[in-house]
Amino acid sequence: MTKQPVSVNGVVRWKDVGMADEVHTETRESKVGVLRQEIGEVLRSVRQRQGRTLREVSHSARVSLGYLSEVERGQKEASSELLASICTALEIPMSQMLREVADRLAYAEGNYIPDTVPSELTEEFTREVRQLRGGTAAGAH
């Protein structure tokens, strides 16, 4: 039995080479995401979908370009205040960002439960909300 250095999240650990249960443990560890990495990936994904640069978002969020880059790469743990500022700059509710992070973590853990609301109900609800908003504005006149 030989030992081999393995780096997990920047921490070097010594693992026995050739043991089946050790390989299984390593696979399980890599499958479950680290929260800061998932947050970073979601923030980057949102920014890229919007076609915005790191520079634009960092300026709007009032955070340094380098720090925002490290947050997106999952290298820095962002405070709740910083996350709020970044979400505001990206014009998305923090709850939406956290929901996407939670979904990604649940999927990685094998606990993902898909949304079971039928699309026709979602569409009906959306229409009703739009009518109420339009009706309230029309009724106010």
Note the pLDDT of residue 84.
Answer: 97
Determine, yes or no, domain membership for 80.
yes
Q: What is the 3-state secondary structure (H, E, C) of 21-53?
A: HHHHHHHHHHHCCCHHHHHHHHHHHHHHHCCCC
Dihedral, CA of residue 105, residue 36, residue 117 and residue 122, to nearest 10: -160
- Tens digit of pLDDT at every position of the chain (141 positions): 566 666 665 666 666 665 444 444 444 444 446 899 999 999 999 999 999 999 999 999 999 999 999 999 999 999 999 999 999 999 999 999 999 999 888 888 887 666 676 777 778 878 888 888 876 544 444
Dihedral, CA of residue 60, residue 99, residue 77 and residue 68, to nearest 10: -30
Share of the chain above pLDDT 90, in %: 48
Determine, yes or no, domain membership for 17.
no
Determine, yes or no, domain membership for 40.
yes
Determine, yes or no, domain membership for 18.
no
Closest CA to 74 of 116, 99, 112, 104: 104
Determine, yes or no, domain membership for 49.
yes
Q: pLDDT per residue over 16-46, tens digit each? A: 665 444 444 444 444 446 899 999 999 999 9
User: The domain containing residue 83 runs over which residues?
Assistant: 35-109
CATH code assigned at 70: 1.10.260.40
Determine, yes or no, domain membership for 97.
yes
Determine, yes or no, domain membership for 19.
no
- Number of domains making up the chain: 1
Determine, yes or no, domain membership for 5.
no
Please give the model's pTM, rounded to 2 decimal places.
0.60
Quote the CA–CA distance of 46 and 97 in Å, as a whole number. Answer: 9
As beta bridge partners, residue 6 has 13
